[in-house]
Amino acid sequence: MSKACTNDGSFCSLLYDLLPVGSFAPLLATVITIALILVLALLVRNLAHRLIGRVVNRASTTTPIAGRFRKNGAATDGIDALLNERRKQRAETMGSVLKHIASIVIIGTAILTVLDRLTIPIAPLLTSVGILGVAIGFGAQELVKDFIAGMFMLLEDQYGVGDVVDVGAAVGTVEAVTLRVTRLRDADGRVWYVRNGTIARVGNESQGWSRAYVDVPVAYDSDVAAVRELLQRVTTELWEDPEFRESVIVEEPSVFGVEQLSDSSLVFRVSAKTLPAHQAEVARELRLRVKAALDGAGIAIAP
């Protein structure tokens, strides 16, 4: 038996006995072993991807509890749809990241095993890779910071596509979210690319629900009880309007009463809880209805 099979165990010995030319046994044994390692790595990778995909699908289809935001069934369905879409986007993004990490770990381990099988010393290679990784880490600190910030942003669901957010550098609607940058479009149509690592704080106007405020200034000598009753009637009519109750308003609007007092006017505040990013629409409708009601009652709006 060839000395080349001494360190290859019984598999090489078996090939040495079967092959007409036994000297090819070590080479063939090595080729078959490498092929088995690569096939096993691909199988494990596919299994890991399927497992991650199953977990992602389960996470993205979990039904949230939205009843605390809405009291009527139609409104609950609207919030459920928004929360489900956000959960699906976050789960799919995290699933993609986990699949890439699993591929790198499994394929990298397989490559190192193959190199070891080919009797290529991997210790110097690992040392070189480690030194190179440290050098790249120092040179790409900002990039690593962006990726880490993006990971935590997705895990904590700070914002998603379609949200109106204030990230300090820009205010606008989120059009795209990646692990490195967030793309926003402001009210003027300008597109902003903000690195995740530079975002120190986020103000999200589209999460859960929003609130519309309307201040109504009337003359100082106006009848407080009459104005409050009029505003209450306006808010009740808005709440009972199917066009708004079934689509944008979360709870019945409230009249807070006199919010500010000066020598020339009384300021009443009306509040309405709405679906995310619909507060401006509801506020405009409230102003129109309040203006019409005040004009009908002969109550002047203070300057």
CA distances 174 to 169, 192, 287, Å, are: 13, 9, 28
Q: What is the pLDDT of residues 186-195, one digit of tens each?
A: 888 899 999 9
- Taking CA atoms, 59 is separated from 69, 100, 148, in Å, by 21, 19, 22
Please compute the mean of the pLDDT values over residues 186-213 and round it to a whole number: 87
Identify the pLDDT of residue 43.
94
**In angstroms, rounded to a whole number, what is the distance separating the alpha carbons of residues 192 and 184?**
5
Fold of 157-204: SH3 type barrels. (2.30.30)
In this structure, are strands 171-177 and 164-166 parallel, antiparallel, or unpaired? antiparallel
Q: Beta strands 203-204 and 191-195: pairing type?
A: unpaired
pLDDT at 142 over 60: yes
**pLDDT over 50 at 69, yes or no:** no
Q: Give residue for tokens 């009459």.
A: 226
Whole-angstrom distance, CA of residue 90 vs CA of residue 153: 10
pLDDT average, residue stretch 178-185: 88
- Distance CA(290)–CA(303), nearest Å, equals 15
**Eight-class DSSP state of 196:** G
157-204 and 210-297: identical CATH topology: no
Mean pLDDT of 125-151: 76
Residue spans per domain, the chain:
3-139, 157-204, 210-297
CATH number of the structural domain 210-297: 3.30.70.100
Average pLDDT over residues 197-207: 85
Cα first-last separation, the chain: 106
- The mean per-residue pLDDT over the stretch 175-182 comes to 84
Mean pLDDT across 266-294: 89
230, 296 in Cβ contact below 8 A?
A: no
What are the start-end ranges of the H helices in 3-122?
9-18, 25-60, 73-117
196 vs 156, which has greater pLDDT? 196
Q: Which residue has the higher pLDDT, 191 or 131?
A: 191
Q: Which two tokens stand for residue 110?
A: 């397989």
pTM, two decimal places: 0.57
pLDDT (average), residues 152-173: 84
Q: Which residues contact 201 (CB under 8 A, 6 or more apart)?
A: 167, 168
Q: Strand pairing partners for 182?
A: 177, 194
213 pLDDT higher than 80: yes
Residue 214: what are its φ and ψ, rounded to 5°?
-130, 120
Mean pLDDT (whole number) for 136-151 = 78
Residue-level pLDDT at 3: 46
The per-residue pLDDT for 67 is: 43
Is residue 226 a contact partner of residue 297, using CB atoms and an 8 Å limit? yes
- Cα–Cα distance, 116 to 118 (Å, whole number): 5
**How many Cβ atoms sit within 10 Å of the Cβ of residue 136?**
12
Radius of gyration of the chain (CA): 33
CA distance 201 to 169: 10
Q: Residue 82: which of 95, 93, 92, 69 has the closest Cα? A: 69
What CA–CA distance (Å, rounded) separates 120 from 112?
Answer: 9
| Separation of alpha carbons 145 and 100, rounded Å | 18
H/E stretch holding 175 reads strand 171-177
